[in-house]
Amino acid sequence: MFIFVLRDWYTRYIGWGTKYLYKEIDFAFLVHPRYLKDVREKFFIFRLIPKAVIYFFTRHFPPIFVSYVYTNFKKGDRTVRGAIIACPMLPDQMLKERSLASKRIIQCAQYAEKIGVRMIGLGALTSSMTRGGLDIIEHVSVGVTTGHAMTTYVVSLNTKSIAEKMGYDLTHSSIAIVGAAGSIGSNTARFLAQSGAENFLFIDTKYKTDLLYALRNEIEATYPKCRIKISNNIANVKDVRIIVTATNAHEEIVYSKYVSLGTIIVDDAQPTDIAADVMQRQDVLVLEAGVLDVPGVVVPINLGLHNTNDIFSCLAEVTCLVANGWSGHFSLGRLKAELLQHVQILNTKYHCKQAQFQNYLKVYTQQELEDFRKMYCDTNNIS
| 38 and 168, same domain (yes or no) | no
Q: What phi and psi values does residue 197 have, to the nearest 5 degrees? A: -65, 140
Structural domain containing residue 76 = 2-149+293-354
Count of the separate structural domains present in the chain: 2
| 121 and 171, same domain (yes or no) | no
| 274 and 217, same domain (yes or no) | yes
Q: Which of 143, 250, 156, 167 is nearest to 194 (CA)?
A: 156
Residues 83, 71: Cα–Cα separation, whole Å:
11
| 118 and 80, same domain (yes or no) | yes
Q: In the chain, what's the furthest Cα-to-Cα distance?
A: 67
Q: Which of 8, 308, 371, 369 is nearest to 162 (CA)?
A: 369
Residue pLDDT tens, the chain, 383 long: 455 666 666 666 666 666 666 778 999 999 999 877 777 777 777 777 888 888 898 999 889 999 999 999 988 888 999 999 999 999 999 999 999 999 999 999 999 999 999 999 999 999 999 999 999 999 999 999 999 999 999 999 999 999 999 999 989 899 999 999 999 999 999 999 999 999 999 999 999 999 999 999 999 999 999 999 999 999 999 999 999 999 988 789 999 999 999 999 999 988 889 999 999 999 999 999 999 999 999 999 888 888 889 999 999 999 999 999 999 999 998 888 899 999 999 999 999 999 999 999 999 999 999 999 999 997 544 44
Cα distances (Å, whole numbers) of residue 338 to 201, 222, 273, 318, 321: 26, 17, 30, 17, 15
Residues 160, 322: Cα–Cα separation, whole Å:
28
Strands 143-145 and 119-122: parallel
Q: Which residues contact 116 (CB under 8 A, 6 or more apart)?
A: 18, 19, 22, 24, 25
Q: Confirm whether 382 is domain-assigned.
A: no
Q: Confirm whether 383 is domain-assigned.
A: no
Q: Confirm whether 318 is domain-assigned.
A: yes
Q: 166: helix, coil or strand?
A: coil
DSSP-derived letter for residue 20 is G
For 105-142, b/e burial (b = at least 16 CB within 10 A) is: bbbbbbbbbbbbbbbbbbbbbbbbbbebbebbbeebeb
Q: Confirm whether 54 is domain-assigned.
A: yes
Cα distances (Å, whole numbers) of residue 263 to 153, 237, 239: 22, 10, 10
For the chain, how big is the Rg over CA atoms in Å? 21
| 51 and 160, same domain (yes or no) | no
DSSP 66-98: EEEEEEEEEETTEEEEEEEEE----HHHHHH-H
Q: What pLDDT is recorded for position 250?
A: 76
| 270 and 368, same domain (yes or no) | yes
53 burial (CB, 10 Å; 0-12 / 13-18 / 19+) is: exposed
| 167 and 31, same domain (yes or no) | no
Q: Confirm whether 62 is domain-assigned.
A: yes
Q: What pLDDT is recorded for position 47?
A: 76
| 329 and 217, same domain (yes or no) | no
Q: 228: helix, coil or strand?
A: strand
DSSP-derived letter for residue 49 is S
DSSP-derived letter for residue 378 is T
Q: Confirm whether 127 is domain-assigned.
A: yes
| 177 and 326, same domain (yes or no) | no
| 140 and 81, same domain (yes or no) | yes
DSSP-derived letter for residue 274 is B
| 203 and 238, same domain (yes or no) | yes
The CATH number assigned to the domain holding 169 equals 3.40.50.720
| 237 and 349, same domain (yes or no) | no
Q: What pLDDT is recorded for position 3?
A: 58
Strands 174-178 and 242-245: parallel
